Every structure is written in C-alpha cells, then in structure tokens.
Structure 1
Amino acid sequence: MAALELRNVRKTYGNAAQEALKGINISIEAGQFLILVGPSGCGKSTLMNAIAGLEDISSGAILLGGEDLTGVEPKDRDIAMVFQSYALYPTMTVRENIAFGLKIRKTPAEQIAAEVDRVAKLLQIEHLLDRKPSQLSGGQQQRVAMGRALARRPKLYLFDEPLSNLDAKLRVEMRTEIKLMHQRLKTTTVYVTHDQIEAMTLGDRVAVMKDGAVQQFGTPQEIYNNPANLFVASFIGSPPMNFIPVALENHEGRPGVRLDSAGGSVCLPLPQLASNLADGREAVLGVRPEQIGLGRGQEAGGPVLEARVQVVEPTGPDTLVYVEVNGVQVCCRIAPVDTPAIGSNMLLELDIERLVLFDPTTGARIA
C-alpha cells in the first residue's frame, strides 16, 4: 500500500474560474522522499497545503497510509511541517520550541525530555537548547524548526522551501543534513522547492509541476535523461539542456538532422527516430552540455562538427564552452585540460544515443 496517494486532486477558486490544481495523481511508497518542483505559481505550495489540511481540495482524494484525509483536521493528520520562515516562537528557548508540540498533546514530561535530547543529538544542536531564536544563525534556526517536526515522529514530513532563506554555502550544508536525516529516519517526506538542484540531489521521486499540473513524475535520473517535454527538459539541469532548431532529413537511408556552424556542416544520424517521420519536418534537438564531447577527427566514432569558440567559462572541475550551431548558442561541458582559445575552432562530437527531439509547437517529445 502506498504511504501517500493523491487521486485526481483538484483545487479551484472563484466558482472554478481559476484552477490551481488540475487533477494531480501521485503515489509514493512508505519511506520515500518526494520532491515537488516547479517555478513560482505552479501550484506546488498549494498542493503541499492541501496535503497538510491547510487548504481544502475541490475534488479528488488524499490518502495517507490508506486513510482518506478528506475532512480530517490538520492537527489530526499526523503530519509535521517545516515552513520556509521557520516559524519559531521568539520568547521560547530552543528546548521549549522543540517540546511545544509534545506539550500540546499532553505527552508525559519524562518522554518530552527524552525526545528533545534525541532530536538535539540527531541535529547536533545540544549546545543550543537554552538559547532563544534571536541568538541563532539562519542555519541553526532551520535545525531547530526541523527538530520540532522530528520530535513528533509523524507518518509524514512536509518541507515547504526550507532552505530558500539561507545563503548558498548553508543551503549545500543543510541539503546534506536533510538527506542524512532522511536516510537515518526513513520517514515518508514531501519537499517543495523551486531549486532543481535540490530536486535532483534529495528526491527518490520527483514531480515537475507547471500551471497546476504535473508535467512528469519519476526518479531524478529518469526525468533528467528522458524529459517528457520541452518544459521539463529546460527546467531540470544546470547548465540547462541546449535546444537547437533542426529539420529532419533522410541521410543514406536513415533519418537524421543537419547541424551548421562557422566551421562547416554535418548530418547527424538519429537511430532513435522512426523512419516514417516526415522529411523536412521542423523539430527542436535537445542535447545536454555533457553530451557534447571533444571530437578527435578521423578517429572519432561518429560525425564531427567544427565550430568557433565564442565564450569560455572555467568552473573548476570542468569548463563550459559556448559555440554557435544552427544560429543558436550551444553550451558544451569539457575537461579543463581541453580548454580551447576564444575565437579558435574546435571539433565537437555529440552522443547520438542520448539526444532527444521535441515538437517546436506543442513542446511534446518526438523521440
């Protein structure tokens, strides 16, 4: 039985004039970590609030451990939520903040003390228990907010963009803390973010949302390697996928696409294309920066394109090189030792097996 199941969940406002959630269907198993990711206004926080009971749904069902939560009050759903703003009580100490939810449930004092000690040790905040929130850094406040949720031992944890208020270094550190915490506790978790790096690194399952609908649901690698449409392909990945306008053509009995650059032209065979696709049909070729390698000339395994280097961006572990292909800028990720000079020509070889094609009008995946 799925730990959390969303069945055709819809949410409308103003006599159905505005549909915030458009038939969401998601199911995850006990102990899995689900990421809801998408741009601002896509409906991910509305869906999170609906799971928590803070928003009523217009139709559909939300099941937790097989129990339909429709009509169940938030306090009775056995769900703990960590907010973006931390929502700590400023007049209480860290110890009192963590213990507050347990006191409300009239948990025995001895059990409360044991739970506070347990989560403080888990999050390494034992030395902060007697401080007030104003005496803590942003990362420490985030740990306390997590500790308050952990003390509950609920069926489900909800995280609503918990790292968005932290600086870049702290976000990386807290991301690791959250992953380690989940690996230790194995509690079912739903995590809302607009950061696709958080989605890729934290989630067992990822739901990419846009305009109140799930565009694709799967593992991080499934979504990265096999995006369902142009939106998913553009949203997931850093640097983002390159999109090159192409026209399909038949080359030596095989379907392919032609690529042109300052250094010449090459027809790229695409074995994954159906042979009945119309010759001359316009499409968008999707290729990740790491799928464009340095060509080695005659000894290269596939067609090689010569392109002029426009921009070079060293990042440390690799170098991003920008060239122009079919009139658009294309990013290539190469090893620092192979970094070319700006204005020089470089040979490029594309990983043919991993390229994808999209319809330029609908954005739907062709191949």
Structure 2
Amino acid sequence: MATLELRNVNKTYGSGLPDTLKDIQLKIAEGEFLILVGPSGCGKSTLMNCIAGLENISGGAILVDDADISQMSPKDRDIAMVFQSYALYPTMTVRQNIEFGLKIRKVPKAQIDQEVERVAKLLQIEHLLARKPGQLSGGQQQRVAMGRALARRPKIYLFDEPLSNLDAKLRVEMRTEMKLMHQRLKTTTVYVTHDQIEAMTLGDKVAVMKDGIIQQFGTPKEIYSEPANLFVASFIGSPPMNFIPVKPAGGRGRWHVPLATDLGQLSLPLAAGDADLDQRELILGLRPEQLALAAEGDSAVLQARVEVTEPTGPDTLIFVTINGTKVCCRLAPDLAPAVGEMLKLSFDAGKALLFDAKTGERLARESKTPAEGSAGNVAQFRGR
C-alpha cells in the first residue's frame, strides 16, 4: 500500500494553448479507492496518464509515499494500469498474458506460477488460462487485463474506464467484483470513469472534474449531499437534482422562497440568519427523493398536476412544473398518481440547497438550528 499526493499539477500541450490540467491538488491515504469522475474531455484520463508516467506534467509534483516520482519513467514507478481497451496480446494465452510482465522483470518461474494461480483464483478465471483473448467474452477479457495488473503486486493500481466496453448487466456485476477485490487487497487505487453511479458506489473518495479543474473532492456522501456548485449537483445523482429558479422574499432572518404551479402556491421558509438574500437570483436545489406525497399535518405542501410518469421498477418518477421548470419526484410505485391527476407535494426543506444563479456556487449552510417557533423543517443558509 502507498499514499498518493498530487501537488499543484498542471499539464499543457503547448505555448498559447489552454491548460488541460490546472493546479490539481489531491491526497489519498494508504489503501483508499479514489474515483476521478467527469464528462468527456474534462482531463481525467490525462491526469491518470500523468500519474502513470505515460505523459509528463508541465508543473507541480506527483508523490508516492512522500517521494517525488514526477521525473521517473513508467517502469520505475511501481504502478500498474488497466486500460479501457484491455490491451491484451492476441497471440498469447491468458496465462502468457498474465505472466508477461513478470517475465520481463525476470521473476523466478516458481514465483510466476504462484502469482498466476493466485490472481486466476481471485478473478475466477482458472478455467480460461489456456485460451486466447479472441476466445473470451468482454467481461472475461476485462478480468484478464486486471489479472495482469494484479500479478505485479504494485504500490498503486490505475483503472482507466475499465468497464465502459461492457453491457449494462455485466458492468454492474464487475463493479461489485471490483469492490470486493479492493476490500480483500486493500491496495491504493485510482479509477477513472464518466459514470457517476460507478463513482458513488466504488469510491472511498471522489474527485469531480470539469475543464481540467477539480470542482470538488470528498466522500461520495459529501459530494451527493453538499455539492460545491451547480455543476457537481447536476452531474452527481440519478435522476439529477431539481433546479428551481427562485427570488427570496422577507428579511431579518425570516426568508422564504415562493413556489407556484397552475394549481397553487407555497412559501417555503428558509432560516438564512443575517444573509442578505433580498431579490437575489438564486437556484433552489432539491433531490427527487426530497419531494414526497404530503401526509396529514405537513406544513409545506404544494398542489401540482402530474405531466409525465416514468416507472423504473422500484420507483416511479413523477414530473410536474414548479416556477415554470420541470421538476422530478421519486415516489413508490403503488403511491404514484396517473398523468393528469392532481397531487399534493411536501418538501424536505431541511435538505434544500441554494445556489447563486450567476456564479453557480452553493450558499453555505448555517450551523445553528432554527430559532424556536420557526415553522417545520427549514433550510438554513448564510451568504458568501
């Protein structure tokens, strides 16, 4: 196991061109599983290649166990990488593919045989050792590529979108296997993906990237519950967070945001402390599960008409229009009304988020509890 730290890492491909990576700062502990997630072109694969030594950085430093490896060649970094394309040798058997890197390093034959048997058992590919890659399914080839990396016992594993070529069912199965494998090996791992579900389910830590910049770094729970900005909030979560344009009204710590449909209106209370929210253009962020069918006694209730329903099996997604914006609610299938029906929605305002409409930044929450006598659960915010 090893620690990995990136200090102010930059990458540019030439004078006058924009930086592909901009001041990247990350630190992960021994045995942690780090996910680099973001849309295509955000720089995550470039960052992975820089860690592996396949590309040189333009500035900053990459440290493994506090030792600077920025100028080391890939073979000296003690890092194993699994590529999206698997990169197996087609004329070699599975056994020969797994052995290849060990033979290059002149590992004794007895130790090579022991390593092959170990990883084959770990990945359940013992029965495939005599086959060639062309005789394997996509999932089997992916296991072999992983086995070749595992046989090296490196300090750090790098995975560059290893599941993207698999079908949806196999991707879910392999995701579970990778998590179990990491729990057994406890090797420091960096994993690149554009799939936010992979990011949330696999990682101990997640770094969300956009345009070569890390937008937020934290645990999956922190990224989901307290996104730093509109981009992170929209990218993480399926279905994505609802964004409702609002203009707060009130004052002196008693702020509220008006919400309206064609069937009614609601003033959702915000405990904003001394924040100056008057007439600011803000975005109210609510996850689909934070809107529910109103129960008897709920204080924050809004009537709306169902416009679209999307059954997913365990849930039914209901779409309504609030403040002129399509809003998604996640309901239990047996409670979901039909298209055209009226429903009463309650809001979990204690988990509501506010974003500045101009900068996209999230307003920080107040740490104090609502004042005594305030109505129901209220969202608490302070200005920046």
> Which of the five TM-score ranges fits, normalised by the shorter chain?
over 0.9
- Alignment partner for residue 360 of structure 1, among 357, 361, 370? 357
Once residues 319 and 361 of structure 2 are traced to their aligned partners in structure 1, the CA distance between those partners, rounded to angstroms, is 26
Residue 251 of structure 1 deviates from its aligned partner by 7.4
Once residues 251 and 295 of structure 1 are traced to their aligned partners in structure 2, the CA distance between those partners, rounded to angstroms, is 28
Residue 13 of structure 1 deviates from its aligned partner by 1.6
Write the mapping of 1:293-312 to structure 2, written as runs, cut at 5 A. 293-297=292-296, 299-300=297-298, 302-312=299-309
Once residues 34 and 70 of structure 2 are traced to their aligned partners in structure 1, the CA distance between those partners, rounded to angstroms, is 21
Residue 366 of structure 1 deviates from its aligned partner by 1.7
1:181 partnered with 2:181: yes
TM-score, structure 1 normalization: 0.97
Residue 126 of structure 1 deviates from its aligned partner by 0.2
Q: Greater CA deviation, 11-20 or 26-35?
A: 11-20
Hey, what does 1:209 align to over in structure 2? 209
Q: Greater CA deviation, 130-139 or 6-15?
A: 6-15
Q: Give CA-to-partner distance per residue, 1:49-80, whole Å, 9 cap, x none.
A: 00000010011000011110021000000000
What amino acid is the match of 1:295? A
Once residues 89 and 154 of structure 1 are traced to their aligned partners in structure 2, the CA distance between those partners, rounded to angstroms, is 21
Q: Structure 1's 151 and 258: CA in aligned 2 closer, same or farther, altered over 3 A?
A: same
Residue 42 of structure 1 deviates from its aligned partner by 0.4
Residue 2 of structure 1 deviates from its aligned partner by 7.1
Determine if contact 1:261/1:306 at 8 Å carries over to the other structure.
yes
Determine if contact 1:308/1:343 at 8 Å carries over to the other structure.
yes
Once residues 212 and 251 of structure 2 are traced to their aligned partners in structure 1, the CA distance between those partners, rounded to angstroms, is 42
**Identical aligned pairs, as a percentage?**
70
Hey, what does 1:258 align to over in structure 2? 258
SS of aligned partner of 1:19: coil
Once residues 251 and 359 of structure 1 are traced to their aligned partners in structure 2, the CA distance between those partners, rounded to angstroms, is 18
Hey, what does 1:134 align to over in structure 2? 134
Q: Give CA-to-partner distance per residue, 1:61-114, whole Å, 9 cap, x none.
A: 000111100210000000000000000000000000001000000000000000
Hey, what does 1:148 align to over in structure 2? 148
Determine if contact 1:255/1:275 at 8 Å carries over to the other structure.
no
Q: Output the aligned Cα RMSD.
A: 1.3
Determine if contact 2:252/2:274 at 8 Å carries over to the other structure.
no
TM-score, structure 2 normalization: 0.93
Once residues 348 and 268 of structure 2 are traced to their aligned partners in structure 1, the CA distance between those partners, rounded to angstroms, is 10
Q: Give CA-to-partner distance per residue, 1:99-143, whole Å, 9 cap, x none.
A: 100000000000000000000000000000000000000000000
After TM superposition, which residue ranges in structure 1, 4 or more long, deviate above 2 angstroms? 273-276
SS of aligned partner of 1:97: helix
Q: Greater CA deviation, 277-286 or 229-238?
A: 277-286
Hey, what does 1:197 align to over in structure 2? 197
What amino acid is the match of 1:280? Q
Residue 190 of structure 1 deviates from its aligned partner by 0.1
SS of aligned partner of 2:19: strand
SS of aligned partner of 2:248: strand
Hey, what does 2:20 align to over in structure 1? 20
* Corresponding pairs, count: 364
Hey, what does 1:329 align to over in structure 2? 326
